[in-house]
A and B are shown apart, each in its own frame.
Chain A
Amino acid sequence: MKLLRAEFLNFRMLRDLELTFSSKPDRKLTVIRAANESGKTTILHGLQWAFYGDPALPGKGEGFRLHPIDWKAGEGNRVEITVTVDFELTSYRRASGQMREARQRYRLVRSTSEELDSRSRRSGSTVKLYKLNDSGASSFGAPEAFVNDELPPELREVFFTDGDRALSFIEANAAVSDKRQRVQRAIRSLLGLGVIDDAIKHVHKSAMEVNKKAKQVGGDGELNAIATDLDDMEDKREELEAQLEDANQQFRAFDESVNKIDRKIDAALQKGDKEKLRKAINDTKENIKQLDTQLEAANKEHSELFGSRSIATDLLAPVFADAFERLGELHEQGKIPSTTIPVLHECLDAEVCVCGEALRAGDPGSDKRRAHIHKLIDDNRRADEIQEIITELYYGAKELQGEGDTGSSAWLNEYTKVVERHDDLQELRERTGREFRKLEKDLESLPDTDIQGLRETRRQYKARRDSYLSKKSVAETRLERLRKDQDEMEAQRDRFLREQKKGTRILAESQVTQDVKKVLQRAYERITHEELQKVSELMNNIFLEMIGADPDQGAIIQRTEISSEFDIIVYGPNGRTLNPDRDLNGASRRALTLAFILALTKVSEVEAPNVIDTPLGMTSGFVKRSILRSAVRESAQLILFLTHDEIAGCEEIIDENAGVVFTLTNPAHYPKMLVNDPGVVERKVLRCTCDHHKDCQLCQRRFDMETDLDVAS
């Protein structure tokens, strides 16, 4: 999807505003220059409201006014609010053996009204979708479903991004579970995993239908009893899944409460003479976190040793030696004919034959000899398949032989290093743990009643959190047990079905549902894993390029990844994890979230716009320009709201890539920030055609004029 045009009527301070967007493939950037308080966030809300309705508004629209705040009674007691968005979809279809590209334009119109009584009531919005053509527009049904297909609502924050809010993917203030959920939700939606989820549920239902049939065939016998048990198990499974979900939610809620109290304790400690203790506690906590991550990495390294090449080459050294001896004999006997090919290739490369004759390319005398050697290569290629495999094995597996031949064990060396690293870290972790417990005791003995009260509340929240964690573990274990029992029962039921005359057909149905279930579950796991990898790698590449970090040149930020638990992790030297809040500057944090958003959009292969508000805030110089360049490159259509400060230094990139640039002005900024009186009484955003180089009577800002005067003087 590409956005073409948007029109806002009475949407907060957008009383009457039309925006146009560039959709050219070679000029995919649209820049909307706007100072603070010039309607940038309102436009983002307006666009999202047009596509998704009230749920896309802050607080899901509850108590969120849409009409202009300065609407006067004289203008009527009922305000009609409308947002119109024109967009284009590109479709591809096969025609006469070739792919044909077709573009179609659509118009989405969402409208509502608000009554200006004391409660500012809003009626439910109406949305209509029109297909545009040369002769006019024809409307068609289910616009919500259409929009959900083209711009999945779960990816709303990816397509419509507020530069500051996007930081919630990594910000430390959010609970870990919250950040994970945001990232997970975006990725799951991107992969369309909801479809597989639904399919798995459907197969579950089919399996239950099959079971009912088995019950009918079973009469009063054992088959009936088993099928009845399976029915009960299914009910139990649903009950346990609901319990697990509830425990998960409660755990997350109490985890967030613990985090909040921690922040309050932190703030209380900042007062008076407790700052030193606060700092010591925070530093120790951070150290423990770092050490735990490093210990986990060391454990992973240890575990990798059991799948390493060195363990195989060391253990198999005698076996490999025997095999290589046999291959060596063949080689000596000249029974590995394919060796000729590399030799012949070497001759051609060196331009000298084994006999010493010249094989210069382009030389008439050599050409005949070169042709002969090419023929020999072709003949050898047609040699026996076995000989080819053996030849490749003989040369290709040399490294396996080499490693086992040295007498010393590569695996033992690696293992020794892993053990040393692990033991050092473990010792350090224990020492730091002791320090932390001592600091906790110091905190306990503080006479400050506020802090003690908070600590008591924290203890209570933590106890509740831990109790839900325990419930979660119990539900998980019982579910696993139940699933295992279900599998066994199903196998038993199928055995009975096999013995029944009428059972064959039901058995076949049962087999099909079980197979489909397995296939779907495997597909689910595989897609999650592989696509997550792709997003993770692309995010890393975009991010490192944006911040200009070269890991080979000893940059502080070495790499970043999305873990399988959906955490965005940044690594520094020696595999140390960096805390995005403390160890990354504002520019890098912004670059990281933008890299995540762009990688997600790109991997999804959904052609969709990225509308980003103030993406370059807190950035400057190389990083600012690099973020802009990367964003233009990775996005299918990029619409940026930029302040004058954000544009400064990036004019050249905008010149190269922007198809549309215009300026928005808030007349209320006169006289403090605007030079000229716009002559507008209402509070409403105005548009002028000034690009990033120009100013006009409407948009000229006071700061700009003072600068000009300075230069002139």
Chain B
Amino acid sequence: MMADRYFNPFQAIDINIPTEFHEEFTRYCQRSANAIIDQSPFQRMVDLWFLSVCVAARQGLEPADIAKYDTRKIIDGSIFGSDPWRVHALMLIAISKSGDVQIVSEPRKMISLANGLAVAGLPKVIDMLKDGDAEPIWNLSDAIDVMLRKRDVA
């Protein structure tokens, strides 16, 4: 039951993203301890994926239709067990976006919705990483800074 703080309803669900984004994931996520952090700001792939979800939700983007894409698995759902707050966050996003609290009993639907948002948000996050004169970590930080200071959310 949920009261267990380590309960992860997404344990058995894989997260697949369109193949066209795979290179960006390997480019911007740290794949070894020797990674250059300035160039690859995300410690794990799930961090880039989750930030894309957040940006899409923040900007009021519609979830993308994943069925249209050729996809590839990048994240194992078990990873949410190590960040229990993300489980709650995904549930809250699902409730808000679907307008239906009943969705909390359907982990696949929740992940599908979040993944749709991630795919919609990914191009934005990639732009944030690239746009600017500095290394990706600083470009991204500046863009998030601006986004958070802007109160007029879509």
Contacts and interface: CB of A to CB of B under 8 A. Distances in A.
Given A315-B57, A327-B95, A388-B1, A303 B86 contact: no
Interface in A377-404: 385-386, 388-393, 396-397, 399-400
Nearest to B89: A312
B46 A565 contact: no
B13 interface: no
Given A306-B48, A388-B1, A396-B3, 17 more contacts: A299-B137, A303-B42, A307-B46, A307-B51, A314-B148, A316-B57, A320-B96, A323-B95, A323-B96, A330-B101, A386-B101, A392-B1, A397-B91, A400-B88, A419-B141, A563-B33, A564-B33
Contacts of A392: 1-3
A273 interface: no
Given A318-B58, A386-B102, A564-B33, A409 B92 contact: no
29 contacts: A299-B137, A303-B37, A303-B41, A303-B42, A306-B51, A307-B43, A307-B44, A307-B46, A312-B89, A315-B55, A315-B57, A315-B144, A316-B54, A316-B92, A318-B58, A318-B153, A319-B97, A322-B96, A327-B101, A390-B101, A396-B2, A396-B88, A397-B85, A399-B85, A400-B88, A411-B148, A415-B144, A419-B141, A564-B33
Interface in B24-77: 30, 32-34, 37-38, 41-44, 46-48, 50-51, 54-55, 57-58
B133 interface: no
Contacts of A399: 85
Nearest to B125: A306
Interface string B74-112: 000000000101101101110111010110110000000
A569 B41 CA distance: 24
Interface residues of A, number: 45
Contacts of A320: 89, 92, 96
What is the predominant secondary structure among interface residues of chain B facing chain A? helix
A300 interface: yes
Nearest to B105: A386
B57 A390 contact: no
A389 B94 CA distance: 13
Contact of A319 (B43, B50, B92, B144): B92
A303 B91 CA distance: 25
A391 B105 CA distance: 12
A301 to B, nearest CB: 10
A377 B95 CA distance: 28
B140 interface: yes
B42 A323 contact: no
A396 B47 CA distance: 22
A519 to B, nearest CB: 13
Contact of A385 (B37, B85, B96, B105): B105
Interface of B: 1-3, 5, 30, 32-34, 37-38, 41-44, 46-48, 50-51, 54-55, 57-58, 83, 85-86, 88-89, 91-93, 95-97, 99, 101-102, 104-105, 137, 140-141, 144-145, 147-149, 153
Contacts, number: 133
Interface of A: 296, 299-300, 302-307, 309, 311-316, 318-320, 322-324, 326-327, 330, 385-386, 388-393, 396-397, 399-400, 409, 411-412, 415, 419, 563-565
A303 B38 CA distance: 8
Q: Which of A390, A411, A564 has the most CB of B within 10 A?
A: A390
Contacts of B34: 565
A409 B148 contact: yes
B101 A326 contact: yes
A415 B50 CA distance: 18
Contacts of A303: 30, 37, 41-43, 137
A303 B92 CA distance: 25
A449 B38 CA distance: 43
Contacts of A386: 101-102, 104-105
A532 B77 CA distance: 23
A637 to B, nearest CB: 35
A565 B96 contact: no
Contacts of A316: 54, 57-58, 89, 92-93
